[in-house]
Amino acid sequence: MSILNTIIFLFLSCFAFYNSNSGILNQIKQEKKLWHYLMRQILKFFILCKRTRRSMQKSFLRNFISPRLLFIKRLENEGYIKGYVALVDNKKIGLPLIIFCNVSLAVHDDEHIERFKEEIRNIDEIMECYSTGGIYDFFVKVVLKDLDAYNQFVFEKLTKVHGIVKMQSSFVLNEIKNTTVLNIPKNS
């Protein structure tokens, strides 16, 4: 986004905020086109500031963008933001089948559990894996092309993982909700 587009965006944001206030709405109604009005205001801004484009960009970055970037960097450093990803539609890339597998291990000591976790991390088809309480020890999400691919995955990869004694699979028929947005409580 160019500096001019950014200033226009900021000006429009201010306009929307002050829209209900006194004189600005009447002044804009008198203008034939909002665009001409905005351009005049932006030109007045540049003339008043008497700055070059480069120093305007630096000023904008220093006063508007930098504090926000520092805040985001702080959130990253403190572990609130783990990373950034692109959310890919699995159906559009030819992987429409989602399977959830419940898995139990034969032995529950540290060595066997760590070996299981390491082997699971190295299987590309496994998107997520959670340690769970209850009947099964782990809950695994797998994304594949079709049932043939699942059959091959089970017999060539999953059953080869050391320590698995029992497994139950459920196939997704229809996705009802899938979000990555966390509802952050107001008091946190």
Could you read off the pLDDT of 31-62 as tens digits, one per residue?
445 556 666 666 666 655 554 555 666 666 66
Give dist(CA 128, CA 138) in Å, integer: 10
The predicted pLDDT at position 153 comes to 97
In angstroms, the Cα distances linking 18 to 33, 36, 68 are 19, 19, 24
Write phi, then psi, for 72 (nearest 5 degrees).
-65, -40
Closest CA to 99 of 144, 33, 157, 152: 144
Closest CA to 100 of 70, 66, 144: 144
Query: Given the DSSP bridges, would you call strands 97-105 and 138-144 parallel, antiparallel or unpaired?
Result: antiparallel
CA atoms within a 13 Å half-sphere pointing along the CA-CB vector of 100:
8
Could you read off the pLDDT of 56-94 as tens digits, one per residue?
666 666 666 667 777 888 888 999 888 888 888 999 999
